[in-house]
Amino acid sequence: MKKLLPYSLIALSVAFIAPEKGLKDYYKNYFPIGVAVNPRMVQPGPDAELIKAQFNSMTPENAMKMGPIHPEEDRYNWKDADAIAEFAQQNNIKLRGHTLCWHNQTPRWFFTDAEGKTVSRDVLLARLKKHITDVMGHYKGKIYAWDVVNEAVPDTGTSIYRKSKFYEIIGEDYIEKAFQYAHEADPSAQLFYNDYNTENATKREKIYQLLKKLKARGVPVNGVGLQAHWSIYEPTKQELEESINKFASLGLKIQFTEVDVSVYPKEHERRERRDTDKSEFTPEMADKQAAHYKMLFEVFRKHRDKITGVTFWNLTDKYSWLDNFPVPGRKDYPLLFDQNGKPKKAYESVVKF
């Protein structure tokens, strides 16, 4: 007589059947598919399982930014970033570092002395070098690519340089110095300049001029990260292809580093919530989002010879930075997985080709 398994064992065996295919499998002949994560997601649970099933690249969303990882001059907070790096290593997932030099989320001590006065160029350069050297040294061999300088180009005006504290105190060569320090700290790491709004023709041209200048000076910049914080209304196929071709013409690797597709019209400045701002994800929005993702990934696949990675900026619609930007408290639905971690229509449009 055939012996029957207890129901609990049957349930257990079903629970451990791996999904047939993840995003990483559909795109294995194209480029790695990544996801931005926080330390909670890499603890045992549904988020960790979804990451392992779908992705073969990861980026820490906040844990390696200057403020979180280096809150005081003589103190580093390695714990959160270490948890992410360890998870990546254990699961054979590539890891991108984000970000070594950025005007936002920089601790106040970085720019001031003990009396609160602005430091000199030499002091700030020394601090920048030490930060980059220490952080890259800590993760050497675990991180294959770094966003070295983030968002150094302004959206408006004619200057190609954002008037950040780094720019004001050091001058335009802080960008060059950051890349030099990064290359010295880990000569095998791929070094990226990372920015947003790169499909806007005016800003794209400024970023292009900056990178062209860096390349002409022999600065060790290997690639450009196009953040890809888009919406269901933008960019057009033509705008996207223009960006890819323009930056590739400089001999740079291209990665789409922070992909999300908001269901609301794109805004780049924070504002107060209005009565007309509803948190909703209608069937029409779902259809538009799926169609937009379909177009985006068609373009990505077409240019697979130029693109070396595509990373989503968070895992599921459960949490996204867009829930509080540009409108505080307005829920957004920008990713391929819903709030329960289930694939959306947009997921289907990305994997069916």
The confidence band for 268, taking pLDDT boundaries of 50, 70 and 90, is confident
Please state the rounded mean pLDDT for residues 215-226. Answer: 98
Place of tokens 């330390």: 39
Token pair listed for 21: 């295919």
What is the distance between the alpha carbons of residues 164 and 97, in angstroms, rounded to a whole number? 22
Report the interhelical angle of 283-302 vs 237-248 (nearest 10°).
30
What is the distance between the alpha carbons of residues 93 and 310, in angstroms, rounded to a whole number? 14
Q: Residue by residue, what is the 3-state secondary structure of 94-143?
A: EEEEEEEEECCCCCHHHHECCCCCECCHHHHHHHHHHHHHHHHHHCCCCC
Neighbours of 131 (CB within 10 A): 22
Q: What are the beta bridge partners of residue 312?
A: 35, 259
pLDDT tens figures, 4-43: 444 444 444 444 444 579 999 999 999 999 999 999 999 9
pLDDT tens figures, 276-289: 888 999 999 999 99
Question: Can you give the residue ranges of every domain in the chain?
Answer: 27-263+278-351
Q: Which residues contact residue 280 at a Cβ distance below 8 angstroms, ignoring those fewer than 6 apart?
A: none
For the chain, the residue count is 353
Which residue numbers are catalytic?
151, 258
Report the C-alpha dihedral over residues 61, 64, 66, 69, rounded to 10 degrees.
Answer: 120
**So what's the pLDDT on residue 19?**
54
pLDDT tens figures, 299-328: 999 999 999 999 999 999 999 999 999 999
pLDDT reading at 170 higher than 80: yes
pLDDT tens figures, 64-78: 999 999 999 999 999
pTM of the model: 0.93
The confidence band for 275, taking pLDDT boundaries of 50, 70 and 90, is confident
CATH for 27-263+278-351?
A: 3.20.20.80
